[in-house]
Structure 1
Amino acid sequence: MRGVIDHPDSTRTSGRRRVASWVRRTFFGALLVAVLVFGGTAFRVWQVAQVDQWGQADMIVVLGAAQYNGDPSPVLRARLEHALDLYQQGRADYIVTVGGGQAGDNYTEAEASRMWLVEQGVSAESVTELEVGNDTLRSIRAVSDVAEQRSWDSAIIVSDPWHSWRSRSMAEDQGLRTMVSPTRSGPTGEVRTHYILREAAAVLYYRLTHASAEITGHGLG
Structure 2
Amino acid sequence: MFLLFKLFRRIVAAFLLVIIVVPLFVALRIWDTGHVAAPIKSDAIVILGAAQYNGRPSDLLSARIEDAQILFSKGLAPRILTVGAAASGDAYSEAQTSASALFKGGILPRQVKIIPVGKDTLSSTVAYASYMKVKGYTSVIIATDPYHCYRAIAMARDLGVQATCAPTTNGPGTLQATGIRYIIRETGAYLAYKTVGRFGIHLTDQVKK
TM-score for the superposition, normalised by structure 1: 0.85
* Residue of structure 1 in register with 2:186 after alignment: 199
Distance 2:94 2:51 in 1: 6
Unaligned runs of 5+ in 1: 1-14
* Residue of structure 2 in register with 1:50 after alignment: 35
Structure with more relative contact order (C-alpha pairs < 8 Å, separation 6 or more): 2
* Residue of structure 2 in register with 1:216 after alignment: 206
Distance 1:103 1:77 in 2: 21
Cα offset for 1:20?
Answer: 4.7
Distance 1:190 1:154 in 2: 29
* Residue of structure 2 in register with 1:183 after alignment: 168
Unaligned runs of 5+ in 2: none
* Residue of structure 2 in register with 1:145 after alignment: 130
Moved more, 191-200 or 84-93: 191-200
- Residues 62 and 31 of structure 1: CA distance in aligned 2, closer, same or farther (over 3 Å): same
Q: What SS does the aligned partner of 2:100 have?
A: helix
* Residue of structure 1 in register with 2:119 after alignment: 134
Matched, 1:170 2:160: no
Count of residues in Structure 1 that have an aligned counterpart in Structure 2: 204
Spell out, residue by residue over 1:3-46, the C-alpha distance to the aligned partner (whole angstroms, 9 max, x if none). Answer: xxxxxxxxxxxx3x664554344223311221011100100010
- Residues 198 and 148 of structure 1: CA distance in aligned 2, closer, same or farther (over 3 Å): same
| Contact persistence 2:146–2:174 (CA under 8 A) | no
Spell out, residue by residue over 1:64-110, the C-alpha distance to the aligned partner (whole angstroms, 9 max, x if none). Answer: 00000000000000000000000011111100000011111010100
The amino acid of 2:99's aligned partner reads R
Q: What SS does the aligned partner of 1:181 have?
A: strand
Q: Who wins on radius of gyration, i.e. which is larger?
A: 1
RMSD value, Cα? 2.0
TM-score for the superposition, normalised by structure 2: 0.90
